[in-house]
Amino acid sequence: MKASFWFDKWQSREIAFHEGRVNQLLERHVEALNLERGAHIFVPLCGKTRDIAWLLQRGYRVTGAELSKVAVEELFNELGVEPKIKKIDKFEVYIYHDLTVYVGDFFEMTSELLQKVDAIYDRAAFIAMPDAMLTGYCDVLKEITKKAPQLLIGYLYDQNLVAGPPFALSQSRLNTYYGQDYKITQLETIDSNENMKGIAPAQEACWLLCS
């Protein structure tokens, strides 16, 4: 899967993966991360998720990483704020108060750019990656965040019925990529109230990953 896949999705407005409201599993389980006000949360492949506004309103600092400039511009437009834009290394960086978003290739991110992270919120990145990319993605994420705890949300469905993305998640798949570095706890599973791509019955699940 190439970066152009996601660029094209945003350009053609094929963004069914964008959730038009704050994720209810985030609302119910963010406290499992035991974060204090002002804690720094990293959101990989953040798009223009409404979850960012919700996290900011709760007093957290948020840093996102996103390939699509279109998505990031829409994020700030929907927040109703005008960011400062800087060029740092290979990234365009959008900054407004407690929100920073790096526009560019996630695999070019470094711990120096990201600085100290208290937690990761992943609702879009892990499930966007095919197995061929997941080892690299997880290795980079662990490196740049120093294995910060994660709240990870994904879908449970029969991958044999529907090709991803989003790719199906499971406890065993998480164990494969994160089991050596994190204790993995499934917090809740709920009905998604829709079939994946209109075909496969799906549930949405939330996991806590702590090292």
Helix (H) or strand (E) holding 70: helix 69-79
Residue 16 has pLDDT above 90, yes or no: no
Is 108 part of any known ligand binding site? no
What's the mean per-residue pLDDT of the chain? 91
3-state secondary structure 13-52: CCCCCCCCCCCHHHHHHHHHHCCCCCCEEEEECCCCCCHH
Which pTM does this prediction carry? 0.91
Q: Buried b vs exposed e over 93-128: b needs ≥16 C-beta within 10 Å?
A: bbbeeebbbbbbebeebeeebbeebbbbbbbbbbbb
d(CA 111, CA 32): 24
Is 204 part of any known ligand binding site? no
Domain that holds residue 164: 3-210
pLDDT range class, residue 18, cuts 50, 70, 90? very low
Is 66 part of any known ligand binding site? yes
Total structural domains in the chain? 1
* CATH number of the domain residue 36 falls in: 3.40.50.150
Is 78 part of any known ligand binding site? no
Which pLDDT score, from 0 to 100, does residue 12 have? 53
Give tens-digit pLDDT for 124-156: 999 998 899 999 999 999 999 999 999 999 999
Give tens-digit pLDDT for 87-110: 999 999 999 999 999 999 999 999
